[in-house]
Structure 1
């Protein structure tokens, strides 16, 4: 099942993570959406999460549940091939402990000013792949449960 990864496009660490994810998600299980764009905001709303959550946490929404912080990372890991799938085992660590580490990293992440032309810009070698994996509003609707 596909899922949408919502990330802060102004965050250098987040952009780097998305580039890493696209390189390793050979089966195309994950779409990506910046939290400031319409698809990202729509996915956050559909997941029942506030728009501000993606400013400090990566979010994964699969049409059923919105996961944040390390729950999002374990969901991503479980969707990747080996050896990356093994990182999903971090879910055995109590959530407060693993989220505490996540929050410490998030507080120290490199942020770029919004006017930086590199914001949300994929590395040169990933432009076509990045664009092919950008979530659209139609993707959000397709994942949303029928009313």
Structure 2
């Protein structure tokens, strides 16, 4: 868990050049987040995928308040608007984990922990408190081809 992918390419909550590890509140949401960023579903079978659980103490997580969401935070594709929010969080070293809404989650569920995404700052001093569970192989349903 280095955050290298987000460093190289950027994502919804960070511009390129910022290390971030992205997690989701449940496996189905994590899989959906992968799918919506693919140009070709065949890429799912190009490399093996794995998943694991993460745990962290409540003291290292901050939740992005609804009022802190700027207009355009959920634009598709992601823009500098949402990246600026995440970059500011990273630069302030505000917390190791930030709970943020998922664009692919229905609006009425966006602020329920199970349906949120969790950018993780691997450069934060509290990153060491993030515990990684057992790793499992992930097999994508072939109907996605």
| TM interval, short-chain normalised | under 0.3
Q: Which has the higher helix share?
A: 1
Hey, which of these two has a bigger chunk of strand by percent? 2
What's the TM-score once normalised by structure 2's chain length? Answer: 0.28
| TM score, norm. by length of structure 1 | 0.28
